Structure 1
């Protein structure tokens, strides 16, 4: 086991660029930049021992500094469209190790999930503690069954689009499916580094409400998020 001096390190990665929704991490959502929703939820959860913002953008880093958080400027090669989140997290861990910070557990909180609440973060940690899982990954129930989905040929014909046993079944009679919602990832640091990701043996699902599971990537996602926030119990 490692010589840890921090239990949970939470990293919020937020680069400047975004092709589908430019500047999304700083978009105003009900009076606050998008990233601040995640930062405040992490702080409010009271289970995060150190919260770090990783970015290539001065304005995004300033949001972290404004809240008194540790910030890390990531190199250009980790701020491209093709940069992998796992590499950003490894860079963060390596940067903090040089400062003597060694976390037992690593949490990823993406700023594009602003409706995730502090209680969700708290309960995810409780889930790991209770189940003794190596990692926790948040999911929500699928809005539509994937059994009603398939690829299409170039001609658009739907021969064999659905399996025979699915035809004419009511949606409520189909098996319940869950999808990744991108809101919370948590793993033991050693297991994360060994697996280079959060999917590993003994991973546990943490089920979140669908209405708190919006993941903003497009202008439509942002509009849906605004609507969901307006209809939520505050």
Structure 2
């Protein structure tokens, strides 16, 4: 299967995060490494608008057959539009059409090659249109609150039973941003991530850090260094 790693140059939350050094390597290195070690990946494409990112990714063994257009690299640009553009353009240069692909965001450096292979195996086993990696939510959504215009703390959900113990709450999951496996034709048709053939690939918390802030970055570095120490 083909892997697409989206890595645009702009980032307001953490400028330059896709190539910011993390535990000795640029952030994007960890995703390229995991994809290279996955048995089910035969081609790794980095989609970027940034020449510096392209050069670094190329040095680690990824392909950058073309740079992403500016209109697909802005803050308001939809990720799905870029995935469709990338696969359409790749299909123009291939004798065999790309029917499915996996998206691996570089902001999930703790996702492993085993996670990638397992998610793709699930995709084929279930004849899925989409497989999305998720992590068990730390807190039930019924705990969420909001502040009213007059400053009062109120329930976010209007019908909440506050008498329930935590153990009685239904288990819920959150997408962790690490893995998206798509059927290309279904993605073009639906222009969305979720449908009746979307299946979850559940990942542990320690592999699910999604870097968006400096604190996320520090946590990922701590976990990476801890894993290295376990191997010594």
Same fold (TM over 0.5): yes
**C-alpha distance 105-162 of structure 1, shift in aligned 2 (>3 A):** closer
Structure 1, residues 10-66: CA drift from partner, whole Å, max 9, x if none?
110101110110000011111110011001101101211221001111111012221
Q: Which residue of 2 aligns with 1:73?
A: 67
Q: Which residue of 1 aligns with 2:91?
A: 97
**C-alpha distance 82-13 of structure 1, shift in aligned 2 (>3 A):** same
Q: Is residue 184 of structure 2 the alignment partner of residue 175 of structure 1?
A: no
Unaligned runs of at least 5 residues, structure 1 = 1-7
**C-alpha distance 161-136 of structure 1, shift in aligned 2 (>3 A):** closer
**Contact persistence 2:145–2:155 (CA under 8 A):** no
How far apart are residue 150 of structure 1 and its match?
2.8
Structure 1, residues 48-97: CA drift from partner, whole Å, max 9, x if none?
12210011111110122213332130111111111111111112112212
RMSD: 1.8
How far apart are residue 135 of structure 1 and its match?
1.3
User: CA–CA distance in 1 between the matches of 2:170 and 2:60?
Assistant: 44
How far apart are residue 164 of structure 1 and its match?
7.2
User: CA–CA distance in 2 between the matches of 1:110 and 1:30?
Assistant: 18
**Contact persistence 2:133–2:178 (CA under 8 A):** yes
SS at 1:43 equivalent: helix
Structure 1 runs (4+) greater than 6 angstroms displaced:
none
| Total equivalences in the alignment | 227
**Contact persistence 1:186–1:198 (CA under 8 A):** no
Q: Is residue 19 of structure 2 the alignment partner of residue 19 of structure 1?
A: no
Structure 1, residues 90-127: CA drift from partner, whole Å, max 9, x if none?
12112212212521212111110111011000000111
Q: Which residue of 1 aligns with 2:104?
A: 109
User: CA–CA distance in 1 between the matches of 2:92 and 2:160?
Assistant: 57
Q: Which moved more, 1:76-85 or 1:113-122?
A: 76-85
User: CA–CA distance in 2 between the matches of 1:87 and 1:164?
Assistant: 37
**Contact persistence 2:142–2:156 (CA under 8 A):** no
**C-alpha distance 159-197 of structure 1, shift in aligned 2 (>3 A):** closer
**Contact persistence 2:28–2:57 (CA under 8 A):** no
Unaligned runs of at least 5 residues, structure 2 = none
Q: Which residue of 1 aligns with 2:76?
A: 82
